[in-house]
Structure 1
């Protein structure tokens, strides 16, 4: 066994171990998330679509992990047990063709998760930030186009590689490298813009609650907690996207650090929407907490809007500290009623 082959096995094993750690969390969280959604009922088309999307992303991540596991086991078997060159086995050749293609397909997790992030920002901020939301929507479209181009080019390279079009394959591989970086950049910008808009919305809402309703700062409503949770989780996801982008330029003796971290990040992209749904469900029900309207409020922020489009069911088993009754306040301001409903 050559040093290069041994190093290849080592890197694939380390990558698989890191990916397995995140996928294991995914395999635990996804059934819980599915149970929560099904228990609440899929009453709207948006709920059905979201549930179907989560199942598709989990299935895609599962297939990707299984192929990665099989690839690593095959490399170890060939190198350490049979001690034959990698190119001498038909299975290894098939994996060399199929693994890059699957790595391209699993990038769909990025665009689907980004779509959830943009949709969430649109529902919360469409009244006051409709023009600003065009920016993350534009980056989302660019992310989709770059990922579709990546998948299409990878399919073309896989087909042409079998026909010995080496020149076309080499040039296609170079273009593929640029496309993969573009995927990461567009996805990161989509999340930064969307999270920033939701963060500004949360800050304006908190300022409005303390100034207009004159509530003490310690009295934080469920809506504020959920907005803060969405912003915090969005920041963490943005940091993960920035890390994988930086990792692509850090050279290792065999490839780059991005080759190790990318499989982990695509699994994290799949798990992110499920985590947010569970956390928000645990913290309370958003649409039954506060109704906002900007009409007739001269001093209220213009972006305050009805939030009843998003529904997150409350968890009846949470500790009572998370189920405290919200401050009941019915405030009439220039003929507009703002109702803070009691949370059971």
Structure 2
């Protein structure tokens, strides 16, 4: 019994849900302590919705855990048998997690847009991919729940492929920012130019976590395309575990992106930057009874800077 892949799946998903819960609470705390802008409200709502979807999935998976005694895995037995044994719980487990694809991709697209200077051109291709993903996911959701039928393979695999393509594109854009930073020594985030240390580390962490997230999607896409339900495929166990991992990671990663963005914003605001595009230096010239004021154009805004020669 202990070696049953269903127990491995349930253990891995529960562990990830615990990690997700920790990041979720931390993210909510950060959002609560920041100014309530329209963006914060949207992020707050998306964060709660994605967490609720992941929580419902892990709880229903635990409820249906007795199905692990079946000779085949949960996703390989016939769908009518699953519905008969689990009722609406099986339908919710199958069709609810893909809804998080839409919100997760939107959050990552928003972060890439901010990092890349808030240029609308950045969002053209990701926006089209996001709209296509939303249309496919909603079509699969409506048809599946209305007919109480197995999820449409073509629709689901298309939604996974679109999400993968979008995340590869967005991660590449963030990686370009990392490369630009390393080349020029500075990168503009939210129209504020900062030094090397914390910004570079945060961008690198975001890029690396995005790359790992894309690898997860590639593995899930390959397993979905290759493994046929009801067959003894060598990748069957990997498919089963990934089917439990994806509902958690599709919410965990975007939530971590929000937390990282909020922490970066708090660091920038603590540096006392203002919106002035100039730096004013007061220079005391020898022999002059009055200080000479000179204004220099600058790409970085800093307040309260006074230079006095020794």
Taking structure 1 as the reference length, the TM-score comes to 0.66
The higher relative CO (CA closer than 8 Å, separation ≥ 6) is in 2
User: Displacement of 1:236 after TM fit?
Assistant: 1.7
Aligned counterpart, 1:318: none
User: Displacement of 1:291 after TM fit?
Assistant: 7.5
Q: Does 2:20 match 1:30?
A: no
In structure 1, how many angstroms separate the alpha carbons of the residues matched to 2:28 and 2:49?
Answer: 12
Q: How does 1:60-209 map to 2 (within 5 A)?
A: 60-73=53-66, 76=69, 93=84, 95-127=86-118, 130-158=120-148, 173=150, 176-209=152-185
Q: Does 2:301 match 1:339?
A: yes
Taking structure 2 as the reference length, the TM-score comes to 0.72
User: Displacement of 1:149 after TM fit?
Assistant: 1.3
Q: Secondary structure at the match of 1:338?
A: coil
Alpha-carbon RMSD across the aligned residues, in angstroms, is: 3.7
- Decide which of 40, 48, 53 is 1:55's aligned counterpart: 48
Q: How does 1:213-252 map to 2 (within 5 A)?
A: 220-251=196-227
- Decide which of 4, 8, 14 is 1:20's aligned counterpart: 14
Aligned counterpart, 1:258: 239
In structure 2, how many angstroms separate the alpha carbons of the residues matched to 1:182 and 1:290?
Answer: 47
User: Displacement of 1:192 after TM fit?
Assistant: 0.9
How many residues align structurally? 267
- Runs of 4+ in structure 1 deviating by more than 4 angstroms, as ranges, are 279-284, 289-293
Q: Secondary structure at the match of 2:179?
A: helix
In structure 1, how many angstroms separate the alpha carbons of the residues matched to 2:178 and 2:84?
Answer: 52
User: Displacement of 1:96 after TM fit?
Assistant: 4.9
Q: Secondary structure at the match of 1:273?
A: helix
Q: Report if the CA contact (8 A) 2:186-2:196 is conserved.
A: no
Q: Secondary structure at the match of 2:299?
A: strand
In structure 1, how many angstroms separate the alpha carbons of the residues matched to 2:129 and 2:274?
Answer: 29
Q: Report if the CA contact (8 A) 1:233-1:276 is conserved.
A: no
In structure 1, how many angstroms separate the alpha carbons of the residues matched to 2:201 and 2:68?
Answer: 48
User: Displacement of 1:94 after TM fit?
Assistant: 5.3
Q: Secondary structure at the match of 1:339?
A: coil
In structure 1, how many angstroms separate the alpha carbons of the residues matched to 2:64 and 2:185?
Answer: 55
Aligned counterpart, 1:167: none
